[in-house]
Chains A and B, each alone.
Chain A
Amino acid sequence: MNKMMMATAAFALALGIGAASAAADKLKACWVYTGPIGDFGYSFQHDQGRKAVEKEFGDKVETKYLENVAEGPDAERAIERLARDGCKIIFTTSFGFMDATIKVAKKFPKVHFEHATGYKRAKNVATYNARFYEGRYVMGEIAGKMSKTGTAGYIVSFPIPEVIMGINSFMLGAQSVNPNFKIKIVWVNSWYDPGKEADAAKVLFGQGADIIVQHTDSTAPLQVAQDQGKLGFGQSSDMIKFAPKAQLTANTDNWNPYYISRVKAELDGVWKSDDTWGGMKEGMVVLSPFTNVPDDVKKMAEDSVAKIKSGELHPFTGPITKQDGSTVGEAGKSLPDEELLGMAYYVKGIDDKLPQ
């Protein structure tokens, strides 16, 4: 009986709600995240961008999001759900959403899609990404100075170009101050798995690393570093709260200006599909304050950041020696973007074989 009554009540109420929501006339901007917004890493940072959009445009926009969407079978439905719900611009924030985004975009030609970190575009699908490798180079320099054992532990997710680029950039930065620097690598095959990430950190510290770097999204590795009196770098978001004694800096993503500019374009009716790849200069990659480092290291890092911003320093300047001894790139010239985006090799000195 109770159940019947509740169902009826819910039903009656629902009719009212349906009528109310149809009246709204705001631009709906929507986001799809692969992790939980509470990861305090990658997805958290995208959600900060969503909040910045809400703040910037007030009642002109309404934002929605779906979090914890698995890359794969569920992504397409999740994106389509947002498109059907009236979203006019949809940001899909993980590489694994690429094909799903393209498929849904075909069905909804009037909706604009923005896919982060991918390479497939369409008339109504733009792509955007940040040059995370710039931050990783400076982190490598810091690690080269700070590591007593000359070894960093690197926790990584998937062997895609984005990730390999980051490992290489970090290594090139470290080698620029310590030519004998070593990196040990553990693949956890996930973007977000605090348990596995923490285990990996413990293993790496056990193998002689005294600094941890990660290309995964949880705060767990840094917390392990904090507990063991070791050092590490925050990922995507400033994680200093979780490891006040361990974090040297964090490679943070700042999507706010990009999201605001894209939503503004949408509001003004001038949205166009294009490809954005911004770095430190554009303010998309920001290193959080340098902590737990002596003054000279801090000075070095700040100089490098300034040089990267001015264009004087490019982490991938030729010739670069690959793991197998061959070289790429012309002397004094930086590798072109297409080569970076297809990077499938390690640079010399990395103690790992790329998963084949």
Chain B
Amino acid sequence: MRLLLEKRSEHSQLMTVISPLIAVALTLVTGGFMFLAMGLNPFEALYVYFLEPLKFFWTFAAEDFWPLEQLAVKAAPLVLIGAGLAVAYSANVWNIGAEGQLTAGAILGAVVPVYFTDWQSPLTLIAMLALGAIGGMLWAAIPAFLKNRFGASEILTSLMLVYVSQLLLDWLVRGPWRDPAGHNFPQTVAFADWQVLPVFGESSLHLGVLLAVIAAAALAFMMARTLKGFEIKTLGVSPRAGRFAGFSRAGSVWFCLLLSGGLAGLAGIAEVMNTVGQLQPKISPGYGFTAIIVAFLGRLNPLGTLIAGLALAISYLGGEAAQVSLGVSA
């Protein structure tokens, strides 16, 4: 008897569901063995790493809420950027430079505290957020223009602009924007109370967290229910079919880059306002790059990025928790 291996025309439904679970299980087992090799109890280590931040859900103790807050704060920029990238990637627009757009947003948003230090009005925050988004969009407009006009790969141009923006930031905080009272240290003036986003109660949950959730939900709605979403998906799956339907490839490149860039810029200014409190040479531990993983882990679904963002935030924070509780090296 001859055995024939034939490729399925579609993935089996069972595998679609359980393959992520298998991946997670394999990760846990591998991680467990690594902890074991380091002479630690693997169960304890995995608990500290992955479950302790979520302790609040079964203890409901007030002091356990803090890790959860931190998780949400950490996940907010990842979700905000990741949701935008998920849309862009669905259209085959490969914006790799969200980190640069984040930086550009932070820079433009900081124009308010740096140049209009004393301007105190309800519009201050709105101006800062708007400028942040615009900064990100402007930075993303460069690869969009180069792509549409010259056919330059946005993968390369957006990535290279990351370094440009970081050097620009570096120059600003060491040069023209340096705090004159700051002992020559490379940083701008600290943002005043009215230049940071409001927080909920006594917590560190700020408005940016809410913005991230809203953005993810709105983009999920757009992708699932609107013509724009259909256009993006169509152009992503089959550019030819999209053209026959009258959709413009150039238009979708503009739209996707401006959208994802704007959200990255928003994440940048929100992060600078509430977690850093001023501009300094380094304002992000690489959220723009991590958000690429978030977009894919969320299966390019904006709502999926909510979960994926939290998962990656856990991996950021779990490393710290493991250092404190287990004394392992980072």
Contacts and interface: CB of A to CB of B under 8 A. Distances in A.
B12 interface: no
A164 B329 CA distance: 32
B28 interface: yes
A95 B280 CA distance: 13
A78 interface: yes
15 contacts: A3-B21, A3-B28, A6-B32, A10-B47, A11-B51, A13-B47, A14-B52, A64-B327, A72-B276, A72-B285, A96-B280, A158-B186, A159-B184, A161-B184, A164-B184
Nearest to B178: A356
A308 B259 CA distance: 61
Contact of B183 (A11, A96, A342): A342
Given A72-B280, A72-B283, A119-B183, A13 B190 contact: no
B148 to A, nearest CB: 35
A306 B103 CA distance: 50
B25 A73 contact: no
B210 interface: no
Contact of B282 (A7, A72, A164): A72
B47 A11 contact: yes
Nearest to B327: A64
A66 B324 contact: yes
Contacts of A2: 25, 29
Given A7-B51, A158-B185, 20 more contacts: A2-B29, A3-B25, A6-B32, A6-B43, A10-B46, A10-B47, A17-B44, A38-B329, A71-B282, A74-B285, A77-B70, A77-B317, A81-B324, A85-B324, A85-B325, A99-B278, A158-B186, A159-B186, A342-B184, A356-B174
A90 to B, nearest CB: 12
Contacts of B285: 70, 72-74
A99 B170 contact: no
A212 to B, nearest CB: 24
A10 B328 CA distance: 18
Shortest 10 CB-CB contacts between residues of A and residues of B: A10-B47, A3-B25, A73-B275, A344-B184, A14-B47, A10-B43, A68-B330, A13-B43, A72-B282, A73-B276
Contacts of B275: 73, 76
A36 B330 contact: yes
Interface in A68-100: 68, 70-74, 76-78, 80-82, 84-85, 95-96, 99
B265 interface: no
A36 B330 CA distance: 8
Interface residues of B, number: 45
B66 interface: yes
Nearest to B323: A66
A220 to B, nearest CB: 20
A2 B320 CA distance: 27
**Which of B174, B185, B285 neighbours the largest number of chain A CB atoms within 10 Å of its CB?**
B185
A161 B25 CA distance: 51
Contacts of B24: 3
Nearest to B45: A10
Interface magnitude class on chain A: 35 or more
Nearest to B27: A3
B80 to A, nearest CB: 15
A276 interface: no
A36 B183 CA distance: 27
A79 to B, nearest CB: 11
A341 B86 CA distance: 49
A34 to B, nearest CB: 11
Contact of A160 (B43, B63, B185): B185
A323 B317 CA distance: 47
A180 interface: no
Interface string A1-34: 0110011011101100100000000000000000
A243 to B, nearest CB: 25
A189 B28 CA distance: 37
Nearest to A355: B174
Contact of A10 (B25, B51, B276): B51
A64 B46 contact: no
B175 interface: yes
Nearest to A71: B282
Given A14-B44, A159-B186, A99 B277 contact: yes
A37 interface: yes
A67 interface: yes
Contacts of A84: 63, 66
Contact of A356 (B43, B44, B175): B175
A11 B48 CA distance: 10
A7 B170 CA distance: 45
B234 interface: no
Nearest to A67: B330
B282 A14 contact: no
A304 B42 CA distance: 54
Interface in B26-41: 28-29, 32, 41
A7 to B, nearest CB: 7
